[in-house]
Every structure is written in C-alpha cells, then in structure tokens.
C-alpha cells in the first residue's frame, strides 16, 4: 500500500489529475486455470499458484480498493474473463476513445 501513497505524492507534485486506473477483474478459479494452462515451471504446482494468488489478495487488493474509492481518479473495472477483443473494446469504451 505504501507504493500507492508514494505514487499519489508524485501525482500531486506534478499536478496530475484524474488518472485512469484500469483493473481487469478475474476470479481466482479463472486465474488458476490460466496459470496452469501456461505451463510455466512456477505455475505447475497448486501450492505455488495458491501462494501467488494469496499474495495478490493480501498485497494488491488493498491497493485496488484504495484506488476504487479515490475520488480524484477514474477507476475502471473491466471483466477480464472475456475474450481479448471484448476486453479491449470495453477499455476503449470506458476511456471514451
């Protein structure tokens, strides 16, 4: 969480307003299946995947919640379990590009 607060101080220092924060939300089961499908050595054991996802829940989710509730940023949550083209379309649409 300290990284988010440091980043906020950078935004303040450079007078950067309304930063777009994009969160690709996926379920734990979806993430587990994707990691297993990659076939990387560090993704083969269930306990390794569990450890990585537990780290995400403990360290990253609080930062996501911080930005989700931050009034000075545009928090965009996208369903990351869709096909790539749909995820891209949703991001572009949310950014009004």
Which pLDDT tens digit goes with each residue over 3-33? Answer: 888 999 999 999 998 899 999 999 999 999 9
Fold of the CATH domain 2-95: Rossmann fold (3.40.50)
Indicate the pairing of strand 19-25 with strand 73-79. parallel
For the chain, which residues make up each domain, given as ranges?
2-95
Q: What is the Cα Rg of the chain in Å?
A: 16
pTM value is 0.86
Model pLDDT for residues 40-94, shown as the tens digit of each residue: 887 778 899 999 999 999 999 999 999 999 888 999 999 999 999 999 999 999 9
**List of residues 6+ apart from 21 with CB closer than 8 A:** 67, 68, 70, 73, 74, 75, 76
């Amino acid at each position: 969480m300290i990284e988010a607060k440091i980043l906020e101080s950078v935004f303040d220092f450079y007078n950067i307003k309304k930063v777009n924060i994009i969160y690709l939300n996926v379920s734990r089961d979806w993430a587990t299946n994707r990691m297993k499908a990659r076939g990387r050595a560090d993704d083969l054991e269930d306990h390794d995947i569990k450890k990585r996802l537990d780290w995400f829940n403990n360290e990253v989710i609080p930062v996501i919640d911080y930005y989700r509730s931050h009034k000075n940023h545009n928090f965009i949550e996208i369903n990351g379990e869709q096909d790539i083209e749909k995820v891209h379309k949703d991001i572009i649409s949310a950014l009004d590009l």
